[in-house]
Structure 1
Amino acid sequence: MIEHIVLLKFSAETTEKQKEELIRKTLLLKNVIPGIVDIQQGANFSNRSQGYEMGLTVRFEDKTSLTNYGPHPAHQEVFSYLQAIGMEDSIIVDFEI
Structure 2
Amino acid sequence: MIEHMVMFKFKEQTTKEQKEEGMNRLKALAKVIPGIVDLQTNHNFSDRSKGYGVGLTVRFESRDSLETYGPHPEHQKVVTYLKEVGLEDTIVVDFEIQE
Give TM-score scaled by structure 2 length. 0.97
- 1:52 and 2:78 equivalent? no
Query: Aligned residue pairs: how many?
Result: 97
1:45, distance to aligned residue in structure 2 (A): 0.5
Q: 2:22 matched to which residue of 1?
A: 22
- 1:95 and 2:65 equivalent? no
Q: 2:61 matched to which residue of 1?
A: 61
Runs of 4+ residues deviating >4 angstroms: none
Q: 2:75 matched to which residue of 1?
A: 75
CA distance in structure 2 between the aligned counterparts of 1:5 and 1:41, rounded to whole angstroms? 10
CA distance in structure 2 between the aligned counterparts of 1:67 and 1:34, rounded to whole angstroms? 11
Secondary structure in 2 matching 1:45: coil
Please give the root-mean-square deviation of Cα atoms over the aligned residues, in Å. 0.4
- 1:31-75 deviation per Cα after TM superposition (whole angstroms, max 9, x unaligned): 000000000000000001111101000000000000000110000
1:79, distance to aligned residue in structure 2 (A): 0.5
1:87, distance to aligned residue in structure 2 (A): 0.6
| Structure 1: gaps spanning 5 or more residues | none
| Structure 2: gaps spanning 5 or more residues | none
Calculate percent identity across the aligned residue pairs: 59
